[in-house]
A and B are shown apart, each in its own frame.
Chain A
């Protein structure tokens, strides 16, 4: 097990006795590589819902590029029945987790996928024009002697790409036989398509390796291509990656590097990067911001400009665009943490930052206020959808998601009613009053609350503030109290510094390098689709951690996962 960085430091146990002359240095790296360690293997990985959707859309584009969008629109309601992947927190955590890790096999998945495949098959073969475009003129000409060959050519071409490996002649025959006795009758071709789309090689990443005898075997070029493309693009291999697998260059060091660089530096990386960041930073938990627009308290709090229905997504996109821009610009983990650019695509969010709306391309404006510290002061990280901030949740997010310091669950017999600001207390004061004594005092005052307090210079819509206005249920102001955003967050054992605000917190987090180690841990969980073993997975973790802590570009951190030996091989347990 990795050491818990929150263990008390026996040399300096009093966090309230700061020694500002000696700020703690970077925490030690958490992971080490033991080359002899053999990582666990995820058995028969099921495509996530997002990966499956991309695969189906890929198949449509492959089959009928001109009609793919309209066909997807037609079958989308059927695919909507495919259940969402469930996000489950890591053991010991209250929140977090990645949807990819839901590897359950469900009846509803099988049912919905079959119905979707049937719908796609029917659509692809619905007209003579589509049949011609799908199989070629051989499918609709007057001759019947070429029908079987026509179908087999389609199976070979379409089936290989959808199942991510060339089909053996016997497999082509098996699929083609489904259409007997009318090889190119639309209903028969549709059945072939249904079977291909429902095949295990389509819905799972089936890996046989290349050596039958060894417990751990190298992946084939096609298997490696599929790992790469689903890891970084959430999609099947594109033409270039497919070609590199076909000609074997992917199995060479240079060829692998070239493809990896291409994947990570392509805009399609955002398909996986957005999902990773959304789940890592729990952006999916941000509620709609307009649901309380009729609530008197919220209206009074929000003021003259209420958030729009689009504001929630705009706030989420602000974070994701920051990450994308950082990656595209060659930035590193610290750059993402401290990126102050405002990617506000919505008037309300632009107003929060005090900048002009970002067009979606080009340079994004910088907020004028120096209090905007970067990631931790982005509106999505601060907003609650109500009139009150939630320092406990903000603190837990920093501690758990940004620093990977496990806090644990509250004792179950405590009153979990959230502290509410009153006519005479700010939200912070209410939190302190509620959590400052009894069993709560074991964790809240030193571990959970302080990182949340340090962002109290921003309100529940992410707007900068120096005072907290207090309202009654009818929206009348009952008081205005000054904000105290100072706190001692104890980022590492012995860290006694009292900080003033989110700017200092951000700088301190960056300096500990725990954030970089945490990023490595989180990206491992997202990529390996399981939780790490510090003994077995040390090589992958250390590779990413080393790159992140050294300030390498984020692209190198992401690539480090695929450069490990375990990525290119499979263990047969």
Chain B
């Protein structure tokens, strides 16, 4: 049994190489090896960033990297990833650029770049789309599905045991986490909640929830009193005092949450995983940080720091993070979000190129290097106890609100890291676009090109399959993949009709019947 201890510098420096003027959470370093599992448990991480709108030239590597093609409904292409060196940086594309010390050749080989995944519906602004809750224009989906992280969180296949799990899933975000579950957690019959799961942004709060000891009001060896709290709800729910049936439904929801709390408080982190002492700094203390990119990155690195250790300890295996520049007042650039200024004057102006696109590129590059790759590197620094790293057993994904043009759900970028315990082949740039099927843009498209590709639901299925959640837990009756079978609204038919086709012909039945398979090149 061995564990790869992290280099102290891993904590002193973010993955972007930015020196952090933050206290070292030395106590978070795993001091002892944890129990060697037969099969290392898998972890799932998803970052969602707002707007999209990254031009194709800024987001993706050169087409010359696509050296292989295959016929799969239409011709799809792929090629091995290789970063170019530019000074101290390794460069896959202008956005996918990070210090060479972080984006090493070994880590490049653990990435996948997935291009050409479409939600076949006009989405505009949304929080849940990237994970399968198709809330176009921030509305309630016509037939809502929970986001895949919540399917995983309550899947007995993903969590055969929650004995050492403090939280089945952790949602990071402010106002809307983009993560949606069932009204009664894990119970499909209760219906999908149209309120996003409440999130947290506090790194210290996360530490207390995931790694600190069981909260005790007064100590003295007394058991946590949560069982009494649970009893008080059950007493009201089942007592003689009059309640409406809807009152009881809400009490049931609360009881379920208290029961989950009770379960969590009864758990201890995996044997061998020393409970570290409480950090002295909370990332919330970095605020205000609008227009302060270094602080923006640090804010998430402090979360990453806790999450990586918590995943290594088995305290949780799922994290989603929904980033929103407006609500969180951060842009990863020196241009402040300033309410909706960034939204209006940067994101929605970006498809015209110029300064706005440059800011969008700068913002996302800082996120990739400083946040995404930071967590990737941290997970890659832990042994999985089976000859690989925690990253090798995990799937870390970055999804966006829109494709290369804000509001449009064509070519929703997905960047992944980790092979999910061998479930996914990695080190590839995959392009699923049908480059013979160029679509019509409109006045907001600017200089960007639109192409159709494969259906985004297939990516959702791929992630579920990679996390060992069987189709029997999520396959649809109208297609074998995950999620709502959506269709283009009639008013957006022009994307297709202007070029002599239709949405139905672009996303035909045969394509929907593929949604239950792993995406090409990954299986």
Contact = CB atoms under 8 A, between A and B. Distances in A.
Contacts, number: 203
B405 to A, nearest CB: 11
Contacts of B236: 200-201, 206
B246 interface: yes
A186 interface: yes
A463 to B, nearest CB: 19
A385 B193 contact: no
Interface string B428-455: 0000000000000011100000000000
Contact of B197 (A108, A206, A209): A108
Contacts of B174: 84
A193 interface: yes
Contact of B339 (A43, A80, A105, A287): A287
Interface in A183-224: 185-191, 193-195, 198-201, 203-204, 206, 208-209, 212, 217
Given A104-B193, A114-B261, A191 B338 contact: no
Given A107-B257, A417-B348, A417-B444, A187 B217 contact: yes
A573 interface: yes
B248 to A, nearest CB: 8
B198 A178 contact: no
Interface in B255-314: 257-258, 260-261, 264, 282, 284, 288, 290-291
B244 A41 contact: yes
Interface string A82-117: 011010000000000000001011111111101101
Chain A interface bracket (under 10, 10 to 19, 20 to 34, 35 or more) = 35 or more
Interface stretch (B208-216, B377-385, B463-471): B208-216
B346 to A, nearest CB: 10
B349 A107 contact: no
Interface stretch (A246-254, A272-280, A408-416, A526-534): A408-416
B338 A287 contact: yes
A111 B264 CA distance: 10
A125 B338 contact: no
B202 interface: yes
A83 B244 contact: no
A200 B199 contact: no
B247 A43 contact: yes
A384 interface: yes
B291 A291 contact: yes
Interface in B218-267: 218-220, 222, 225-226, 228-229, 232-233, 235-236, 241-247, 249-251, 253-254, 257-258, 260-261, 264
Q: Is the interface of A mostly helix, strand, loop or mixed?
A: loop
A105 B261 contact: no
A285 interface: yes
B202 A80 contact: yes
B185 A107 contact: yes
B242 A208 contact: yes
A331 to B, nearest CB: 31
Given A208-B241, A417-B444, A105 B137 contact: no
Contacts of A174: 235
B228 A191 contact: yes
B175 A573 contact: no
Contacts of A122: 217-218
Contact of A191 (B199, B217, B282): B217
A292 B336 contact: yes
B215 A118 contact: yes
B407 A114 contact: no
B200 interface: yes
Contacts of A415: 348, 442-444
Given A188-B222, A417-B349, A107 B251 contact: no
Given A104-B195, A198-B229, A114 B246 contact: no
A409 B489 CA distance: 15
B202 A86 contact: no
B478 interface: no
Nearest to A185: B220
B193 A209 contact: no
B284 A80 contact: yes
A86 B180 CA distance: 14
A191 B218 contact: yes
Given A102-B195, A114-B261, A44 B247 contact: yes
Contacts of B204: 77
A418 interface: yes
A567 interface: no
A573 B151 CA distance: 32
Contacts of A553: none
A118 to B, nearest CB: 4
Interface in B175-211: 175-176, 185, 193, 195-200, 202, 204-205, 208-209
B441 to A, nearest CB: 10
Interface in A290-306: 291-292
Nearest to B254: A105
Nearest to B241: A208
B491 interface: yes
Contact of A81 (B202, B241, B253, B291): B202
A133 interface: no
A200 B217 contact: no
A466 B349 CA distance: 30
Contacts of B217: 117-118, 121-122, 125, 187, 190-191, 193-194
B25 interface: no
A136 interface: no
Contacts of A121: 217-218
A412 B199 contact: no
Contacts of A140: none
A488 B442 CA distance: 31
A109 to B, nearest CB: 6
A43 B243 CA distance: 9
Interface in A11-35: none
A54 B197 CA distance: 24
19 contacts: A43-B249, A80-B205, A105-B253, A107-B198, A107-B257, A108-B171, A108-B200, A110-B261, A111-B257, A114-B261, A187-B218, A191-B218, A195-B228, A200-B251, A201-B236, A288-B336, A292-B341, A412-B124, A417-B345
- Which 4 A-B residue pairings sit nearest by Cβ, starting from the closest? A187-B218, A287-B339, A104-B195, A43-B246
Interface of B: 122, 124, 137, 171, 174-176, 185, 193, 195-200, 202, 204-205, 208-209, 215-220, 222, 225-226, 228-229, 232-233, 235-236, 241-247, 249-251, 253-254, 257-258, 260-261, 264, 282, 284, 288, 290-291, 336, 338-341, 344-345, 348-349, 407, 442-444, 491-492, 494
Given A105-B254, A386-B338, 7 more contacts: A80-B205, A115-B215, A188-B222, A189-B218, A206-B236, A417-B345, A417-B444
